[in-house]
């Protein structure tokens, strides 16, 4: 049985990916700063007959990630999903905010890949999937720090794929547009009245030419394919899953 490590799998996209990879027969290791959220996902997996463990991990900390990976007997699949958002252009982005986004979205991806690759090499290879974004390909208004981090995720995907293409390790990334996650629902609830929310949700949906936001399950299906042996000829690719956003930009 393969072991699939997913960071930030307590809700939303990470949760959907973990559930799908478990359904495909992988043992799941959830690395999450919020272990209560991680356990919620674990209970869903266990209730469907899957095997799963939850390990506390702060992806921004070298020591925390090293400790988490030391607890894993093997790593066959790594999904670098953990990430945080930021709104604002370069004028309003403070040094602290830039560091906060970098530490989680960029350094966190580095940390997990750094400690996963040796374990993959021990077992003859593996698959790495990074969560990038359409922000790594097109300009999005008021997303300076976030776009910086997702551009880095895309570039690190290409570099890792190139360095390990002859060593049995594949590395790809996916580039979603807006996905209807609990984060988006919370954003609407926090910033808009009950009367305003339907109109704003419609606006967010129509940003995608296809006319709606994506679902975590759709991201999970693509992620599971790219991590599976069915995608054994795919590496160094960035897959758009964006309802036509980049097509029409």
For the annotated catalytic residues, the residue numbers are: 146
Token pair 């469907």 in the structure block, residue: 48
C-alpha 228/C-alpha 45 separation (Å) is 18
C-alpha 13/C-alpha 4 separation (Å) is 15
Looking only at the bridges linking them, the beta strands covering 126-131 and 169-176 are parallel
Opening angle at CA 72, ends 71 and 73, nearest 5? 120
Q: How many CB atoms lie within 10 A of CB 233?
A: 6
| 32: phi then psi, degrees, rounded to nearest 5 | -145, 140
Residue 239: which H helix or E strand, with range?
Answer: strand 238-241
Opening angle at CA 88, ends 87 and 90, nearest 5? 140
Q: Residue 102 to residues 8, 62, 150, 195: CA-CA distances in angstroms? A: 16, 14, 10, 36
| 236: phi then psi, degrees, rounded to nearest 5 | 70, 25
* SS3 at position 232: coil
| 151: phi then psi, degrees, rounded to nearest 5 | -65, -40
């Amino acid at each position: 049985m393969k072991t699939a490590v997913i960071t930030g799998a307590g809700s939303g996209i990470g949760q959907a990916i973990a559930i799908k990879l478990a359904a495909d027969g992988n043992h799941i290791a959830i690395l999450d700063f919020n272990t209560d959220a991680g356990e919620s996902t674990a209970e869903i997996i266990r209730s469907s007959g899957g095997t799963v463990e939850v390990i506390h991990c702060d992806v921004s900390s070298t020591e925390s990630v090293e400790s988490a990976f030391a607890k894993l007997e093997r790593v066959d699949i790594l999904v670098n999903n953990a990430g945080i958002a930021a709104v604002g252009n370069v004028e309003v982005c403070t040094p602290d905010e830039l560091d906060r986004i970098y530490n989680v979205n960029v350094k966190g991806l580095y940390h997990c890949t750094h400690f996963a690759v040796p374990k993959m090499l021990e077992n003859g290879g593996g698959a790495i999937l990074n969560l990038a974004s359409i922000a790594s390909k097109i300009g999005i208004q008021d997303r300076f720090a976030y776009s910086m981090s997702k551009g880095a995720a895309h570039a690190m995907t290409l570099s890792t794929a190139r360095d390990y293409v002859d060593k049995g390790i594949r590395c790809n990334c996916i580039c979603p547009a807006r996905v209807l996650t609990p984060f988006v629902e919370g954003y609407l609830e926090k910033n808009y009245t009950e009367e305003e929310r339907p109109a704003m949700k419609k606006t967010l949906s129509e940003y995608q030419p296809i006319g709606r936001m994506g679902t975590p399950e759709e991201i999970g299906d693509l992620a599971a394919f790219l991590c599976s042996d069915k995608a054994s000829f795919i590496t160094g690719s960035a897959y758009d899953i964006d309802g036509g956003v980049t097509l029409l930009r």
